[in-house]
Structure formats: C-alpha cells, structure tokens
Structure 1
Amino acid sequence: MNKVMMPDWKYHSYGLAGLFGFFCLWFIAGTYIPEGFFQQFTLNATLMKFFILIQDSETYIHIWMSIKRVLVGLGIALLIGIPVGLLIGQNQKADAFSSQIFQFLRMISPLSWMPIAVMILGVGDKPVYFLLAFAAVWPIILNTANGVKKVDPQLLKLAYSLDATSREILQKIIWPSVLGQVLVGLRLAIGIVWIVLVPSEMLGVSSGLGYFILDARDRLDYTELLSIILIIGFIGFILDRFVIGLQKRFAV
C-alpha cells in the first residue's frame, strides 16, 4: 500500500496544534494546583518569569556562552569526525580495525568522563569543550562513513577510468554524495550536545545556561529554573530547525 505524504503546511499545522495543546494542558493542570509551593510550576507563573528573563541582558550572556561552547564542541567534532568518517568509509581495513573501538567508546556516557576531564584540563571551559566534542563526534563519524559507503560505485569507476585524481574524486563525487549524511550526523550531534551541555556547565564555570539553572536552584527560585528550562528547549528547537534547513538546502 502506497503511503500518501502529508503536505508540509498540514504537517507543520499539526505540529503547532500539538504544541498549543501541550501548553493548554499545562495551564489546565495549573488551575487545580492548590496554593503553596507547587504554584511556582504553573504556566502563568512560568511565563511571567520567562518574559522577565528574556528582557534581562544577563540572560543573553548565559545564552551566548552556552551557544559558544556548543559551537566550539561541534567544530572540534566536525574537524575530527568528517576526516575519520571519510577514511573508514573508503578503507575496509580501517573500518574493520576501528569499528569495535568506536562502538565501545560511543556507548560510554560523555558525563562519565567529567571527573577525568576536570582532573586533566582543570575547571572552566576546556573540560566542557572536551565533553561536548566527545558527545558529538560519534554520530558525525558514523554517518559520514555510512554516506561514503553508499556512494554509487559506477560513478567511482567512471572517475577512475577518466584518470581523475583522488582530490577530484573527493571533491566532485564523494563529498556531494555524503553531505546529506554529514548533516544528519550534525543534527543528531546537536541533539546530544544540547543535552550534555547543561550538566557540563556545572564544572566550575560562572556563566551559561547550565550554571544559570544551578544558580536558580541554589536560590530556591523554581519558577525561574523552569523558565530557563523553557529557554533551553526553545534554543534547542531553533538549532534543530536550522540544521533541517541546511539539509533541505544542500542535501542531494
């Protein structure tokens, strides 16, 4: 049976309806919460604090520091992951040699490296960069390698028959063919990094959304804490939409 694809506008309208429904349920649940501590978690209280926070310049300092760390971590992961993925995708021996090592390492939670990262790199941004890069590199490596393996062998044979150089084959055939898979890996990496970011920013840094949450918790301001969680969710959503846009623009 052929599956009929839903038009984009209709798909997105369902998504908006689902999001609206979620906030409606949150609002309704809040009307049944009795006076007291849990009133801090109602939608009205959270949104009021949310709008206060987005008017505060300090909030944007925390947002920028978190985004900067994410960009550095992703940049390191891309610089390592793409070349490694291209190598193991083209070389069966390299793939066989590294596959079990990579599978072993990627199953280790990045957060389990926190004590070692702090011990070696000290407190501050460096251990955060390491943890984010470690979290992001595996989907980039594996998706890049998978993209190389899916390159049409007939195109490669044709290129070799025309005496194309390795650089020309990489630029004209392999890279355009794997770009879509690289972007898939990048999207997965952003999702993982954005989750790892918050606990990573509790490693002795004095800014960032993770630190912001820790500070709100220490002040027992749980409405602000929940508002920061909303901000984290919105930024992560925007980053994901950005990569989807890149996929639509560049994927072949």
Structure 2
Amino acid sequence: MSNGGDAALAAVPLPMRGRPRGARWSKRVFYPLAGMLVLFGLWWLGGYWLQHDRSISSFGGFAPAPTLRTLWHLIMTGQLWGIAGPSLYRIAMGLFWAIVIGVPIGISVGLKPPIREMTHVPFQFLRMISPLSWMPVAVLVFPSWNGAIVFLITMAAVWPVLFSTAQGVRRIDPVWFKVARNLGGSGFQLLRRIVIPAIAQDIFSGIRLALGVAWIVLVPAEYLGVTSGLGYAINDARDEFDYSTVTAIVLVIGAIGFCLDAICVAMIRQFSWHRED
C-alpha cells in the first residue's frame, strides 16, 4: 500500500504537489486587493460622515469623490510632477549621501572590532536624536533650504544603512577571508570579491529602512522655508482650506512611497541568496 501511494504521488505533476495556484493567486492578488477595498470603504464611510454632518461639513473635501477629482486635475494639468519633483530630488540626494557615508563606515565597523567598540556608544547616542532637531544647525550651516533638507534626510537615513551594513559584514564566514588570503587576495580584492557581494542584500535592506524613515522626515522638513515639494503643497493647501488637495497629495505621497519601497524589495530579492519559487 505504501509503495502504491508513493507511486501515485510521483505521478502527480510537480506544481500540484507544491502550493496550489489558487493559493498563490490569493496571496499575490486577492488579499492585497481585498485589503485596499476595505481601506477605501473606511475612507468612503468617513467621507460620507464628514459631508453629511452639518457641524463639520466644511471638511467634506477629505471625502473620496472630491479628492479623486482634484488628483485627476493635478495629473492632467501637469501640476503633480512639479510638486513631486523637488521632493524626489531631495530624497535621492539624501539617500545618496547616506549610502556614501553609511556603507564605508558600516564595513569598517563590521570588519574591525576596535572600531566597533569605540563607535558603539557615540553612534547609538546620535541615532536616537530626532533628525528634525538638527533643523537649527542645518539652517545655520547650509546657505539654502534645499541643502538643509538634504542634510536632515541624510541624518535620518544614514543609521539604517550603516547598521545593516555592519551587521551583514559580521555575518560573513571568516573562513572565506582565510581562503582568499591563502590564494593571494589583496585587501581591495577581498572587499570587491567577498564583502560587497556578501552584504549586498543587507545594504539594500538598510536602504529600504532608510527610505521609510527619510520619507517620513521629508514632509515636515518641507513645511518650513521651501516653496516647493509635497510638504509645502500640503501646508499651502491647508492654509487655503483646500482639503481635497491636501488628501490628494497625501495619496500621492503614499503611492510614491509604495513604489519606491517596491523597488527596494525587488533589489533585495535580486541579491538574495535564498530564491523563492
């Protein structure tokens, strides 16, 4: 009986023995779509309440219908690209400097125990300082608000990159270094052939975390001084009581952040040593 059962199992096509296709579809499409429909339903109920409660009906612009109309208008007139462009530039520059600073220092911290012991307390202390608290310093040091905002984003993003890089280096098997040195590998070759490939996934994981923190810091940083960007647009629309524009830009912030995070996830999977089916 056992042999017959094994033979029957072997005759079953391989996809049927793994996760059913319906389960894969549910995980990748149905559940995310259902979650977004629930979120939209809650938004619609809240908007309906705002529009029909006379005491707060002036906030009806937060409802889905006026928000989506305003969002469509921003897209069709091209205003949306002018609003989002400066913010994306600041995020890109902040992440660039966070990577330039965080990756080399993280590699040094991971490779050299004395450096790790010396920097642990100072780095933990600096990490716990709110990035926005550096605003007075940034205003004094940098001649423009753009430079100050990039500095604040860098201060927020550098720590996830640094610590993820250092943790990735510490997980590298020391035997790899011994074998490479026995084969005549130099310090630069060890870095290029062993360290960077081994920690690529950790670096992109750190960048993903850094992006989330930087995206949160960006909007309040743009409330002050600048006259462009997503944060400025929200603040300006709020001052003009244009609540549909406020909500439309909030949707844009969420959509752009989601897309940037998806890019980071794709890069993490690309450099992952564990391949999913």
Q: What is the TM-score normalised by the length of structure 2?
A: 0.85
Residue in 1 aligned with 2:260? 239
Residue in 2 aligned with 1:60? 81
Unpaired runs of at least 5, structure 2:
1-17
Residue in 1 aligned with 2:68? 47
C-alpha separation in 2, matches of 1:139 and 1:5: 35
What secondary structure, in the 3-state scheme, does the structure 2 residue paired with 1:213 have? helix
Aligned partners of 1:123 and 1:204 also within 8 Å: no
What secondary structure, in the 3-state scheme, does the structure 1 residue paired with 2:76 have? coil
Residue in 2 aligned with 1:30? 47
Provide, for residues 11-70 of structure 1, a one-character-per-residue CA deviation record: whole Å limited to 9, x for no partner.
Answer: 222122101211022113333331521322211121111111222222211211110110
Aligned partners of 1:70 and 1:194 also within 8 Å: yes
Question: Given the alignment of the two structures, is residue 75 of structure 1 paired with residue 96 of structure 2, yes or no?
Answer: yes
What secondary structure, in the 3-state scheme, does the structure 2 residue paired with 1:119 have? helix
Higher relative contact order (CA 8 A, sep 6+): 1
Deviation for aligned residue 1:120: 2.2
C-alpha separation in 1, matches of 2:245 and 2:216: 19
Aligned partners of 1:40 and 1:46 also within 8 Å: yes
Aligned partners of 1:118 and 1:203 also within 8 Å: no
Query: Structure 1 residues 9, 183: closer, same or farther in 2, change over 3 A?
Result: farther
Residue in 2 aligned with 1:113? 134
What secondary structure, in the 3-state scheme, does the structure 2 residue paired with 1:220 have? coil
Query: Structure 1 residues 111, 24: closer, same or farther in 2, change over 3 A?
Result: same
| Equivalent position amino acid for 2:58 in 1 | F
Deviation for aligned residue 1:10: 2.9
Deviation for aligned residue 1:5: 8.3
Query: Structure 1 residues 5, 127: closer, same or farther in 2, change over 3 A?
Result: farther
Q: Which moved more, 1:187-196 or 1:118-127?
A: 118-127
Deviation for aligned residue 1:107: 0.6
C-alpha separation in 1, matches of 2:112 and 2:260: 33
C-alpha separation in 2, matches of 1:31 and 1:220: 19
Query: Structure 1 residues 149, 203: closer, same or farther in 2, change over 3 A?
Result: same
C-alpha separation in 1, matches of 2:110 and 2:270: 24
Residue in 1 aligned with 2:11? none
Aligned partners of 1:70 and 1:197 also within 8 Å: yes
Aligned length: 249
Residue in 2 aligned with 1:15? 32
Question: Given the alignment of the two structures, is residue 190 of structure 1 paired with residue 211 of structure 2, yes or no?
Answer: yes
Question: Given the alignment of the two structures, is residue 96 of structure 1 paired with residue 117 of structure 2, yes or no?
Answer: yes
C-alpha separation in 1, matches of 2:222 and 2:46: 32
Q: Computing the radius of gyration over CA atoms, which structure comes out larger, 1 or 2?
A: 2
Deviation for aligned residue 1:219: 1.0
C-alpha separation in 2, matches of 1:118 and 1:251: 40
Aligned partners of 1:128 and 1:203 also within 8 Å: no
C-alpha separation in 1, matches of 2:61 and 2:256: 23
Q: What is the TM-score normalised by the length of structure 1?
A: 0.94
